[in-house]
Amino acid sequence: MTRSRPLRLGMVCALTVTACAVVRGPDTAAPNLGLTVPAGFQVSVYASGFEKPRLMALAPNGDVFVSDEQAGRVWALLDRDGNGVLDSAQVYAEGLNIPHGLAFHGSFLYVATTDAVRRYPYQPGDVTARAAPENLVDLPPGGQHSTRTVVFGPDDRMYVAVGSTCNVCEESDPKRAAVWVYDADGHGGRPYATGLRNAVGLEWYGSTLYATANGRDLAGNDVPPEAFYILEDGRNYGWPYCYPLSAGTPQVWDKTFGKKDQAYCDAAHPAFATTTSHAAPLGLAFYTAAAFPEPYRGQMFVALHGSWNREPKSGYRVVTVDPVTGATADFLSGFQQGLTTTARPVDLQVMPDGALLLTDDGNGVVYRISYHAP
């Protein structure tokens, strides 16, 4: 039986950015939180009190579901009057083994834990699980990258990402370092995209599947850059033998690991965009609403979780990535001041009212990002 527990609601901050005349113009820091966003954008704490909030999914009725990895829970966040303020939160399910990816499809909520994809029967408005979950797919658990991501494509099939066990190695399990595709009931599984060290962020935009990927560590402060990929059926994306140096160019052979050769890396699918090395891009969301100014519509927003072994540190922010040109730009920053970092951004979710939610697993917080013309 699941149970509810109240979260501390987002009454802590309601921060308005002022003093800038145009979108993407000169920025100013939001007070108290110390954040910098473009003119007209507001950042507030929507909910807090989680242990380690990770990925989100929007339910058919507009409720937001959040995986709380460390607590082993999935939360339902309710704003039933649509005023942008959290009304209440309840534990939808608990006792899960590192829950992470969430997806609504048909009459089910799909939850990807470290060792399986399971689904719960779901009807719009449910705030607690109405039945025990059905196990669909067994996954290799744990490893250096223990989280799993699940999304559904326009073909109604299920796409599941599993990270590698290591920094650089050859995996014995073909489900590792790959995205597999399955029927909605978990049958008919096969590799879809391989050579992806840790593709945490997956999202379909139209008929195209986009992914973030965490590149290898311990090759230097600036090698390799973090990469964003367009995933295509049957393609290989290079890891562990190759890595990208820039967007749209052939990957390079990782000679420190050896094995394979440059010809193999020439055949690996290139990144369509890159950002600073070791910034750890995780969740992504395409902005499909109309509340933000036109330049942001159709842009890919990405949460950069932040580096653990780079000096100077990198990440700890939200960036936009243009899906056409691959150009990246800072959108939300201020979680890093020199060697001090104050948050770990994870995932983004577009809301029915056009706001963006952002999870922060360093503070156990969900932020709300909205726009009001200056």
For 254, the domain range is 56-70+90-333
Q: What are phi and psi of 264, to 5 degrees?
A: -60, -45
341 part of a folded domain: no
- pLDDT for 10 equals 34
343 part of a folded domain: no
Q: Which residues contact 338 (CB under 8 A, 6 or more apart)?
A: 312
78 part of a folded domain: no
Q: How far apart are the first and last CA of the chain?
A: 48
- pLDDT for 22 equals 21
Name the domain count of the chain: 1
50 part of a folded domain: no
19 part of a folded domain: no
- pLDDT for 52 equals 98
What is the distance between the alpha carbons of residues 7 and 50, in angstroms, rounded to a whole number? 7
46 part of a folded domain: no
230 part of a folded domain: yes
CATH of the domain at 233: 2.120.10.30
Q: Across the 374 residues of the chain, what is the mean pLDDT of every consecutive 10-residue run? A: 34 28 32 83 95 98 98 98 95 98 98 98 98 98 98 98 98 98 98 98 98 94 96 98 97 94 98 97 98 98 93 94 97 91 96 98 96 90
DSSP string computed for 300-343:
EEEEE---SS-SS----EEEEE-TTT--EEEEEB-SEETTEE--
338 part of a folded domain: no
Long-range contacts of 117-124 (CB under 8 A, 24+ apart): 117/148, 117/150, 117/158, 117/160, 117/182, 117/186, 120/92, 120/93, 122/59, 124/59, 124/60, 124/61
DSSP string computed for 34-71:
TEEE-TTEEEEEEEE--SSEEEEEE-TTS-EEEEETTT
Q: Which residues contact 330 (CB under 8 A, 6 or more apart)?
A: 36, 317, 318, 319
In 183-285, alpha helices (H): 262-267
